[in-house]
Amino acid sequence: MYRRPAPDLLISRGHVLDVATGEHIRRDVGVRDGRVVPAAALRDPRIVDASERTVLFGLWDCHAHPGSLMHDPTGDGYFEGTPARTLRALANMSDALQAGVVGMRILGETDEIDIAIARATASGHLIGPRVLPSGLALHTTGGHGHAYPRDYLRMMYFDKVDGPDAIRRSIRSHVEHGAQWIKVCLTGGLFSEHEAVDDAQLDAEELEVLMRTAAARNIPVAAHCGSPRVAERFAQLGGRSIEHGYALDEAAAASMAANGTWLVPTISVSHDEEMMRADGWPAHAIARAKDAARAHGEALRACVAAGVRIAIGADLNPISVRLHRELELLEAAGMSRLAVLHAATAGGRMLNGVGSSTAPTEGDSADLIVVDGNPLDRMAVLREPSAVIVHGRIATAGIA
């Protein structure tokens, strides 16, 4: 480790928010060696004055593509290579960190950029969010992701898998290379003209082999999935999270709830028309998104009603802006503010196996934010945290 050890921290006089109960209780929080500890255990701590402020777990983007240009209408991405994409990912992640994002599950990134960054931030070489990488997303020939306006000339963006042998080989290779999630595209999406959000792109045998191989290697699977019937089957086979869930219905939600399958709704991709226009989405994609929006909102509400666990993903870039917008749109779509805060913070930790607490508690990994006011009163206070602490280290100049 190149960095000096982090000093102990005493986050003093803040109100600690429990995102399950909404309790907002004044108490000091100690941090040592990356973990929350009692204040009495600290040695010569650096003081973070949190008077009149709220202390809570930081935000998680559970569906990130930090190096992606998304729709790239100018075609800039055509000729770039891995170094340029890596730098853009790092800049995006550093900006997100300043906006309170302490954790990311990266679901599809090129050339193992995500795996390298995950190792660098976990080891302390680099200050950045805690990262759970998935390497290349899996899809079939002609599957979701193919109809972007261009394919990269030099970089692979997906692992194309057709048939059980290719699927087994891909999952085992991901494990060997250090992926911590498998991302697979099970159905179509909004952007491509040749597919629908609820078509099935793997056959039954391929899906079963995928889930069996991942289970044998103990790696969780996240599925881009819009179809209710495919989601139902994925949940029955032990799938850990459904991404987007455009057309989920009550039966799919019931299956997800019964099998402990999470939903990461990414509601912005069908609801944020301002973003689509600003990002240069083609007209057919905007039309499809608007068509999908009503069902997407209903799918979210069906999952909330069924008790499906929810975590939050931006999917879009820049993460700092899009993730905060996602929180607002989820509230507007029918989640309570407390449920949104839970999904955005503790939900990300739980989905990624980081911890099950809903307020910073002794022994928890110290990935925390300090904000000016109570986000239950005004969610916008999350946008500019006074302090961000990740891996137990202060990542912002802030108030310390």
Return residues touching Zn ion (CB under 5 A): 315
Which residues are paired to 389 by β-bridges?
Answer: 368, 394
Place of tokens 């994002």: 101
Give the residue with the Cβ less far from Zn ion, 232 or 315: 315
Is the Cβ of residue 18 or residue 315 nearer to Zn ion in the bound state?
315
Could you tell me the smallest distance in angstroms from the CB atom of residue 383 to Zn ion? 23
The Cα 233–Cα 210 span in angstroms is 12
- Which letter does DSSP use for residue 227 in this model? -
Please say which residue, 109 or 315, places its beta carbon nearer to Zn ion: 315
The Cα–Cα gap between 259 and 256 comes to 5
> Sign of the CA dihedral 371, 124, 351, 240?
positive
The residue (of 184 and 344) whose beta carbon lies closer to Zn ion is: 184
> Nearer to Zn ion by C-beta: 29 or 137?
137
Q: How far is the CB of 124 from Zn ion (least distance, A)?
A: 29
CA count, 13 A, side-chain hemisphere, 98: 9
* Shortest Å distance, C-beta 149 to Zn ion: 17
Confirm if 341 and 294 have CB atoms less than 8 A apart: no
Question: Least Å distance between CB 355 and Zn ion?
Answer: 25
Name the residue number minimizing CB distance to Zn ion.
315
**Token duo for residue 80:** 């770039």
Q: Which is nearer to Zn ion, 235 or 316 (CB)?
A: 316
State which residue, 78 or 148, has the beta carbon closest to Zn ion. Answer: 148
Longest dimension (CA), the chain: 62
The nearer residue to Zn ion, 244 or 342, going by C-beta atoms, is: 244
Smallest distance from the beta carbon of 16 to Zn ion, in angstroms? 33
What's the rounded Cα separation, in Å, for the pair 6 and 147?
46
Instruction: Quote the least distance from Cβ 282 to Zn ion, whole Å.
Output: 17
| Cα three-residue angle 350-354-360, rounded to 5 degrees | 85
Evaluate whether 60 touches 311 at the Cβ level (below 8 Å): yes
Mapped onto helix, strand or coil, the DSSP state of residue 241 is strand
Rounded to a whole number of angstroms, the minimum distance from the CB of residue 65 to Zn ion is: 6
Residue closer to Zn ion (CB basis): 9 or 312: 312
Q: How far is the CB of 286 from Zn ion (least distance, A)?
A: 17
Give the shortest CB-52-to-Zn ion separation in angstroms.
38
Contacts 24+ apart (CB under 8 A), 286-293: 288/190, 288/191, 289/190, 292/190, 292/197, 292/226, 292/246, 292/247
Please, is 2 exposed, middle or buried when counting C-beta atoms within 10 Å of its C-beta (0-12, 13-18, 19+)?
exposed
Tell me how far apart the alpha carbons of residues 122 and 113 are, in angstroms, rounded to a whole number. Answer: 14
